Chains A and B, each alone.
Chain A
């Protein structure tokens, strides 16, 4: 797959502190890439460098085949940005904001008007298009910002904490829009604190800690990669002995929790096969069997706290 974003050794220093330290990664065409990290880890600084808002002190970023420093206008023409803080012009109406964006992206007036109507309709703001943005709620502003970022039908969309502090309705609307956009081919670069959001939305996530990229992979792979020992929870329809369970192939540890057994195993597949065979041989039917993978939250915490421990 082609890389839509190619970041190589991106570095940003503020005074004596290195906000982003030689960060390198690729975002492939058509994927939703989540950029996760605790507060102050360097997510927003990285996004600002990628979008050409601030220049990197070292390293390069190529966006849609254009170097963001040497060809900023060409690179910016191909993407839209939804920043962390709503930054529509509050003294203008939603319609005027969209028309301004249309002109800044070089759209013909008729196309800008058509797109604005469609987008405002899509985010539920068409009826309030002539109202000044200062009267909008936070959720409405965020939906407007998303519309402004989409006015020129960009191939790539950057979103910095797009649902932070929003009500459930606005959050769901934005997430659903992002899924639809991605289905239509838009590549999405998303920074978020919300692990559940990243887990459900992203094809791959990168985790940044103290300015350094510590992991990059699909959410499921990241979750399993942090635990070398896997946990399986199993219950049978009759009493079985813990010692017998501990002796079967692939099982390295057994622990009773209520009416269930929690099994630890180095190879999940071998352990599950052995448990099924054990049930058959001993006439004990399996009532429930769950693999207890760590959540993305746990993966995130583990990866971002390794430095402290």
Chain B
């Protein structure tokens, strides 16, 4: 066994992910920010926007659900573990910081995918017809990776107070929801809004979800996928690099 080998470290990352699933999925802040918040936000919007078609609303809900769920678990883990001193235990174990981050991301990705799939099933039960299933599945997987990396990036500031990170996370997540074509279709956005929306990975995911259900899209599908892939890569590499630098400051 070579403990530094890639596959060995991936196995150890999976051990971290299993631990996160057992511990963090049912923590109050994760459920509030990851599940209840998008549901109530959607319901408020649904009540006040009866003129919009169901396919638009459900696509928005799916986009919002994945975004909120996949970014709910990952930012909380490092501060929680820093406060409980369990991060110190991990730091003294033969696992790289990159593998710890990957493990946390896997837990976050699975949480996001699991709840989003439920939302998709609800949408289909309400009468939506899925036109491009493979595109939707690929988009959900890619976006879950991307959003979970965003969640990990939000946890980079070396504080061990989870509520600080949750506040910072809300401060960044809410504006992104409003500029990503969830509540206002991209076609109806002013030029400045559109300029902002191209900077948000959520825009491309929402566009792909709409395409999967209605065949309509703003950007070409390949652009949406390529943009999500680039965002995922940049955020993942960035979060691993930054956590490696800030982790000793949490001890």
Contacts and interface: CB of A to CB of B under 8 A. Distances in A.
B95 A104 contact: yes
A96 B91 CA distance: 19
B134 interface: no
B84 interface: yes
Interface in B87-120: 88-96
Contact of B4 (A73, A86, A100, A104): A73
A55 interface: yes
Contacts of A88: 86, 89
Interface range on chain B: under 10, 10 to 19, 20 to 34, or 35 or more? 20 to 34
A106 B3 CA distance: 7
Nearest to B8: A106
B94 A104 contact: yes
A89 B94 contact: no
A51 B251 CA distance: 12
A273 to B, nearest CB: 53
A253 to B, nearest CB: 52
A96 B92 CA distance: 18
A144 B113 CA distance: 35
B93 A87 contact: no
Interface string B49-91: 0000000000000000000000000000000000011101111
B251 A54 contact: yes
Interface in B5-33: 8-9, 11-12, 14-16, 18-19, 22-23
Given A73-B4, A77-B94, A92 B85 contact: no
B251 A53 contact: yes
A72 B94 CA distance: 7
Nearest to A76: B94
A76 B251 contact: no
B93 A106 contact: no
A298 interface: no
B63 to A, nearest CB: 31
Nearest to B90: A104
B1 interface: yes
A51 B92 contact: yes
Contacts of A194: none
A168 B238 CA distance: 49
Chain B at the A interface: SS class: helix
Contacts of A52: 91-92
Contact of A89 (B19, B88, B95): B19
A51 B11 CA distance: 22
**Which one of A74, A85, A91 has the highest number of Cβ atoms from chain B below 10 Å of its Cβ?**
A91
B89 A87 contact: yes
B96 A73 contact: yes
Contacts of A104: 12, 15-16, 90, 93-95
A48 interface: yes
A155 B233 CA distance: 39
B12 A106 contact: yes
Nearest to A75: B94
A83 interface: yes
B220 interface: no
Contacts of B18: 100, 103
A5 interface: no
A73 B85 contact: no
Contacts of A51: 92
Contacts of A106: 1, 3, 8, 11-12, 94
Nearest to A48: B251
Nearest to B14: A103
A212 to B, nearest CB: 22
Contacts of A296: none
B248 interface: yes
A55 B249 CA distance: 10
A134 to B, nearest CB: 11
A261 interface: no
A183 to B, nearest CB: 25
Contacts of A91: 22-23
Nearest to A104: B93
Given A51-B92, A104-B93, A106-B11, A83 B3 contact: no
Nearest to A107: B1
A105 B91 contact: no
A150 B92 CA distance: 13
Contact of A74 (B4, B92, B251): B4
23 contacts: A48-B88, A52-B92, A53-B88, A53-B248, A53-B251, A71-B4, A72-B94, A81-B89, A83-B85, A85-B85, A87-B84, A87-B85, A90-B84, A92-B19, A96-B22, A100-B19, A103-B11, A103-B18, A104-B15, A105-B93, A105-B94, A106-B3, A106-B94
9 tightest A-B contacts by CB? A103-B15, A76-B94, A87-B85, A77-B94, A81-B92, A104-B93, A51-B92, A87-B89, A91-B23
Given A96-B22, A100-B15, A104-B94, 19 more contacts: A72-B94, A72-B96, A73-B3, A73-B94, A73-B95, A74-B3, A74-B94, A77-B3, A81-B92, A87-B86, A88-B86, A88-B89, A89-B19, A91-B22, A92-B19, A101-B93, A103-B11, A103-B15, A105-B94
